[in-house]
Amino acid sequence: MRIFEYENINEMSFETAKTVFNFYDYYIRKQGYFSLVLAGGNTPKLLYQILASEYNLKINWNDVYIFFGDERYVDKENEYSNYKMAFETLISKIDIPPKNIFRIRTEIEPIEKCVEDYENQILKFFEKKDKDVSFDLILLGMGNDGHVASIFPDIEISNNKYIDYVIPKNANPLVPRITFTYNTINNSKNVVFLISGKEKIKVLNEVFRGKEYPVGNIKPCENLIYFISK
């Protein structure tokens, strides 16, 4: 586990972008492609803008495959959609083939079918690569309650699936969510957390002292990195 602290979100985002690029470079050399899982929320917006501008021409987006760690069960044009945020800040500004974007298709009903569809997308992707399900890099944020992706405290999540859905009791917005499970996250090679703000830093310090939160259950196969801004 490595922890990097910064004075502000600008510094953190630029350093995180360097780290994302370094992982990209490593896996392109090693296997010829890079699987990247995006986080939702507000904290990664600047990171995505930096990747779209500073790294647009340094990255061969034909070799990058983008997934989503969680999604609100809303229309893709809804203001709360993680896909909409990622599309506006990153995807629409880079030259990436549409087939390389693996969106959680929230138009599918009911939500159980949506979950099944996304799990099948993931399984087919890794099957074609002749690999077990293990993403190269997952970006994650954290909520003030210590939730990660859409794994919330006191809400049961499947240990047998790669994707599950939850109906959170306390969340903003208060809508059902589709989410990676611990199984999927912890089978990944690397996880990078982006954490900003006093309340979240307080929760993270409690985790380091042994208090139980979902964020404390994240243990990827290779690298766990925290980028923290005040």
- pLDDT one digit per residue (tens) for the chain, 230 residues: 999 999 999 999 999 999 999 999 999 999 999 999 999 999 999 999 999 999 999 999 999 999 999 999 999 999 999 999 999 999 999 999 999 999 999 999 999 999 999 999 999 999 999 999 999 999 999 999 999 999 999 899 998 999 999 999 887 788 999 999 999 999 999 999 999 999 999 999 999 999 999 999 999 999 999 999 98
Q: What is the pLDDT of residue 170?
A: 80
Q: What is the spatial distance between Cα 34 and Cα 20, in angstroms, rounded to a whole number?
A: 10
Q: What is the pLDDT of residue 188?
A: 98
Q: What is the spatial distance between Cα 148 and Cα 144, in angstroms, rounded to a whole number?
A: 10
pTM greater than 0.85 (yes/no):
yes
Q: What is the spatial distance between Cα 79 and Cα 168, in angstroms, rounded to a whole number?
A: 19
Q: What is the pLDDT of residue 211?
A: 95
Nearest CA to 43 out of 80, 5, 12 is that of: 12
Q: Which tokens sit at 54? A: 């500073």
Q: What is the spatial distance between Cα 69 and Cα 138, in angstroms, rounded to a whole number?
A: 8
Q: How many CA atoms lie within 13 A of 219 on its CB side?
A: 2
